[in-house]
A and B are shown apart, each in its own frame.
Chain A
């Protein structure tokens, strides 16, 4: 009789552990699921610095592939625009200006941009500066200024 009773107590203890485990998993899943729909508040400083990082990375990737200097040297502005459009997230608008070392605009005839001018009047504009030294034996640095806005 005593043996049966103690076995019952043991099973009860196991069930408690199972319940505790299930409850913990339930809480974890709930947190993970809610996180999918969470809209984090945007701070002006945080958003701009995030966009700056994205912009810097995109320009650096293009530079690593030796594409930046080619676009600038041969004035392939349409290809440059296409490369940025493909590389940046779809909800990010951009405007890139190429300057020489005396801060004269090089791409005057063809703007490298995506998005209307009003978009860039927002206060959430991130700005990235990048320097490209030259191409194919010619040292002729150009400074790229990339403005980014999330749409």
Chain B
């Protein structure tokens, strides 16, 4: 009886010991594997950082071009800037043999909850309650020094303005002390990320087609429980109920968008 119990205990112990040994062997083999493959990956790291910097730069060029397009409406600006960028990148990283080619997006694309009709990589759809400016290009990168060819990526820039409501408050209603107009709007960028850092200077208001001086506006930004999103509120004192408003928003990248709405 006692002999049997001893044997059982020995069996359990061997299993525990085997498990611990297995853990040790696995740990050691992972260290050995990373040591062996370190230099295999290491030689690529320099190129990975270079590729990342060219991707970021290309995105910046697309943003710059969209900003310029929304200010000047020059529709060749994206292709012109990308041509220059391809050339400048080749010169700046001379030893790497950088070849950057691009294809501008053409046609209608459903993205960010809207239908974007690209023409040579650019589109603006303004003067609606939901307005937007967009740019998109596909690029292909080759690095002759690394033997890398055809690394494809997409760069895009997007800015959407939505006038959620333009409301007139009349002092005839005892709830309100004066007559004023309140415009509630949201601003979003790529991947519908809300832009929350805009200031009064980033907005320009037109009421019934007339410009309103920035000094006459009162401005606030907050998370709205009504709309369940971060919104901007622009308030302006009026003498009577206006018909329509137009709000121009310019983000920190200088991309512009203009949205219109009727006053309720």
Contact = CB atoms under 8 A, between A and B. Distances in A.
**Chain A interface, DSSP helix/strand/loop, else mixed:** helix
A10 B253 CA distance: 77
Interface string A105-145: 00000000000000000000000011111111111010100
B88 A101 contact: yes
A28 interface: yes
Interface in B75-95: 81, 84-85, 88-89, 91-93
Contacts of B68: 137-139
A136 B61 contact: no
A75 interface: no
B64 A130 contact: no
A57 interface: yes
A12 B52 CA distance: 61
A30 B35 CA distance: 19
Contact of B17 (A17, A130, A139): A17
Contacts of A148: none
B92 A139 contact: no
Interface stretch (B2-10, B137-145, B211-219, B221-229): B2-10
Given A17-B17, A136-B67, A59 B53 contact: yes
Contact of A131 (B3, B24, B89): B89
Contacts of A42: none
A51 B89 CA distance: 22
**Chain B interface extent, by class:** 35 or more
A49 B39 CA distance: 13
A40 interface: no
Nearest to B50: A56
B52 A141 contact: no
Nearest to B84: A139
Given A56-B49, A131-B89, A137-B67, A10 B10 contact: yes
A137 B254 contact: yes
B3 A133 contact: no
Contacts of B172: none
| Secondary structure call for the B interface | helix
B92 A138 contact: no
Interface in B243-262: 252-254
B150 interface: no
Given A14-B10, A49-B46, A53-B46, A134 B64 contact: yes
Nearest to B69: A137
Interface in B51-65: 52-53, 56-57, 60-61, 64-65
Contacts of A66: 252-253
Contacts of A10: 6-7, 10
Contacts of B190: none
Interface in A1-17: 3, 6-7, 10, 13-14, 17
B264 interface: no
B17 A21 contact: yes
A21 to B, nearest CB: 6
Interface in A41-78: 49, 52-53, 56-57, 59-60, 63-64, 66, 69
B20 A21 contact: yes
Contacts of B50: 56
Interface of A: 3, 6-7, 10, 13-14, 17, 21, 24, 28, 49, 52-53, 56-57, 59-60, 63-64, 66, 69, 101, 129-139, 141, 143
A-B pairs, 8 with minimum CB distance: A137-B67, A136-B254, A131-B92, A137-B68, A56-B49, A137-B254, A139-B81, A133-B61
20 contacts: A3-B2, A13-B10, A24-B24, A52-B46, A53-B46, A56-B46, A57-B49, A60-B49, A63-B60, A69-B60, A101-B88, A130-B92, A131-B88, A132-B57, A134-B64, A135-B64, A136-B253, A137-B254, A138-B68, A143-B92
